[in-house]
Amino acid sequence: MIRVFNFFCIALMGLSILALYDVSEKTRLTRVDLDKTRHAIAQEQGQISVLETDWARVAGPERVATLAQSKLGLDNTSAVQLSSFEQLPRNGEDSPLSQSPLRNANAEAPAQ
Amino acid sequence: MKEGATIFQRRIVIGAAMCVAAFALVVVRLVDVTVFHAAQRRSVAANIASYRTDLVDRNGQILARDIPVQDLYARPHAFWDTAYAAHALAQAAGVGEPALLKKFTQAKKPYVFVARALTPDGQDRVMHAGLPGLEFQPGYKRYYPDGRATAQVLGVTGLDDDGETIGLSGLEMGLDPKLRDGEPGQSVALSIDMRVQYILAHEVEASRNEFSAKQAGGLVLDVRTGEVLGMVSLPDFDPNARTLGTGDTEHNLVGQDVFELGSVFKIFSFTLATEDHKMRPDEILPIGNGYKIGRFTIHEAEHMPATLAARDVLALSSNIGTTQIALRSGPQRQREFLERMGLLNAIHTELPEARRPQFPVHWGQVETATVSFGHGISVSPLAFAAAAAAIVNGGRKIVPTFLKHPEDGRGEQLIKPETSEKMRDLLRYVVTNGTGKKADVPGYDVGGKTGSAQKARIGGHGYEHKLVTSFCAVFPVHDPRYLVFVVLDEPHGTKQTFGFALAGYTAAPLAGRVISRIAPILGVPQHQDPIVVARGTP
């Protein structure tokens, strides 16, 4: 009886060793995969970083201004041509320029 | 009776001894490799630079970032033919062949550094050389997407003796402790607004070319928070190149240099007189053809009327009138006041290279007169701007900063708020009725003061017939938010300026153009009354 029990224990130990080895090997392989994935993420992040930097270069004001002037014929706007939302008339209101000297000046111009 | 060991037992003992000796050898070698030669093994790893934190502008746009690159190392003892390896690597990596060969032949360490920051193309070329004993170490290269536009402010980085990246100039140096050992994704937000920086750089360069100036610079300062929104100094340099090009310099005119700024300094003389109730803007002062102090005579830069109201003394920039006003306060009070305004001490900001101001050791009547119109005292444009900002922002001290700090940064009350208000009126008067007319921008109330200083002779007494012209502008003048300071070193008059190179013709229009472009971007409210538009219509 004791021999059977001993054999059973040894067999169990052997199976445990095999199972442990299997788990350990799977863990090792998973760790290798994890390292590869981490490396790939780091590489992608590096590439994203380079792309962001390149975007900052190509979308910089100097380049945009040069392109806007050469390709679209745009130029700097005079400050008086610009306004703000606060100065725009609300629905139903008269334009701020409707009673302004600008309109009056135009109306009076032919008479001068 | 004990018998001696048999030959069999002796063989076992000898075998065991050999095993012990073999294991002992392994142990000795292990200790040798892991303990005594650990430093050599780490020599390559030690050269891997740590990540340096990004610099971004106030809106989050990248100004400086470490981008991943590969550094190339070689193990010379692995080469079959050292000369051939040096030749092949020199061509592939773009480095000097003789220096590389010398490194290979005289190598004391197992690894020799070959080239830094190889691009993927360069890495491919090296791999195609088919040499053994090469090793690529990932590293970082500091890249500045805006190149020259921010070079003088940001500065550059380099390597110290331990192979660590450190700031060598500009904010890279001033903020070095904050930037070291960062993580990708971390950033330090600067006060710089890239839109403002670009406009300032563009306009300053245009003016420098128009007036053939030796150097030019400018800065935009928030008078409430102390934030520097833009700073430009020309000539500049390409921070992404390893060497300076012809005519390039790393010298920052606005942050580093000190100048005799000339008449723009009259702002302080009038502030002092207003603060001490020594002057009324409408009082009449005699001007004449010269004002004698001891053996010296003060002259005007331009012809002036026989008498001027005090406000016109500032508006037309009369040296004689300003001298009379300054002498009412006296040397001691003038010196105390300028010291209180921070003009007699080096300014401390995140820029590390500030020079100390220069001023008279003996501060008598003559010195009071010359200092009143900005001669005999040299300060940096940045220090000047900080002091001028305190005058218009309600009279409270600000410390300029290059870090984003949108909260009100005004501190100690330096002058009375009423004095500040009176000075804002006077500065507006200079632009509407005086030498600063060309700085006015329709729709925005600009106030300011011109400055045309003769350059002092280098290493000697007296002055040259060369000018440093400047303009200090604030807008909107009755509730100031921003200060624009521009300076041109040795500008030359043109046909359009009738040959004049004074600040009213050179620096004032430059400040006006900068304001007209940055004010809408910065959301400064325009003049509500459109009558200004109508005036412009014939």
User: Mean pLDDT by 10-residue block, N- to C-terminus, for chain B (538 residues)?
Assistant: 73 86 86 68 51 92 90 90 92 90 88 84 87 88 91 91 86 93 86 95 95 95 96 93 82 88 94 94 89 86 88 93 94 95 92 88 91 93 95 94 92 94 95 93 91 80 84 93 96 91 94 93 73 37
Q: How do strand B482-489 and strand B215-222 relate by DSSP bridges?
A: antiparallel
Is B231:B174 a contact under the CB 8 Å cutoff?
no
Question: Domains of chain B (ranges plus CATH)?
Answer: 54-189 (3.90.1310.10), 197-535 (3.40.710.10)
Calculate how close chain B gets to A94, using CA atoms only, in Å.
Answer: 14
A49 and B533 within 8 Å at the Cβ level: the answer is no
The values of phi and psi at residue B288, to 5°, are: 70, -165
Q: Give domain status of residue A10, yes or no.
A: no
CB atoms within 10 A of CB B139: 21
Is B533:B442 a contact under the CB 8 Å cutoff?
yes
Q: List CB contacts (< 8 A) between B526 and chain A.
A: 79-80, 82-84, 87
The answer to whether B246 faces chain A, any CB pair under 8 Å, is: no
Q: What is the reported pTM?
A: 0.80
pLDDT digits (tens, 9 = 90+) for A11-37: 999 999 999 999 999 999 999 999 999
Residue A96 has pLDDT above 70, yes or no: no
pLDDT attached to residue B33: 72
Token couple for B238 = 């390409």
Q: Give domain status of residue A26, yes or no.
A: no
Q: Give domain status of residue A60, yes or no.
A: yes
Which A residues 19-78 touch B at CB under 8 Å?
Answer: 45-46, 49-50, 52-54, 56-57, 60-62, 65, 76-78
pLDDT attached to residue A103: 42
Enclosing domain of residue A50: 40-71
- Out of A62, A84, A105, name the one closest to residue B198 (CB): A62
Q: Give domain status of residue A101, yes or no.
A: no
Write a three-state SS string for B435-457: CCHHHCECCECCEEEEEEEEEEC
pLDDT attached to residue B422: 94
Q: Give domain status of residue A87, yes or no.
A: no
Whole-angstrom Cα distance, residue B528 to residue B98?
71
pLDDT attached to residue B51: 83
The tokens 């003048």 sit on which residue? B477
Q: Give domain status of residue A46, yes or no.
A: yes
Is B307:B284 a contact under the CB 8 Å cutoff?
yes
pLDDT attached to residue B65: 92
Q: Give domain status of residue A31, yes or no.
A: no
How many domains does one find in chain A?
Answer: 1
